[in-house]
Amino acid sequence: MVDIRIPIGLMFAIIGVIISIFGIVTMSDSAMYQKSLGVNVNLIMGVLMLIFGLVMLFFAFRKKKG
């Protein structure tokens, strides 16, 4: 049986890494983040998506062992 947590975890982890890298690269561009009151939304959401993806992968592989 296919566990849906593996592809979802991979998708969120990969997209989270891409968005986090974009947030780090554009960190010095204050004009870009002016609409969000100077908050680097790309970096924050990228890290959150990466954490969510890793948690999904952790639970998917933890279940298979036991």
Residue with tokens 């969000």: 36
Predicted local confidence at residue 58, as pLDDT:
94
Confidence class for position 64, pLDDT limits 50, 70, 90 = low
Predicted local confidence at residue 13, as pLDDT:
97
Return the number of other C-beta atoms located less than 10 Å from residue 46's C-beta: 21
Q: How far apart are CA 55 and CA 65, in angstroms?
A: 16
Predicted local confidence at residue 33, as pLDDT:
85
Mind listing the pLDDT tens digit for each residue in 3-61? 899 999 999 999 999 999 999 999 888 888 888 898 999 999 999 999 999 999 999 88
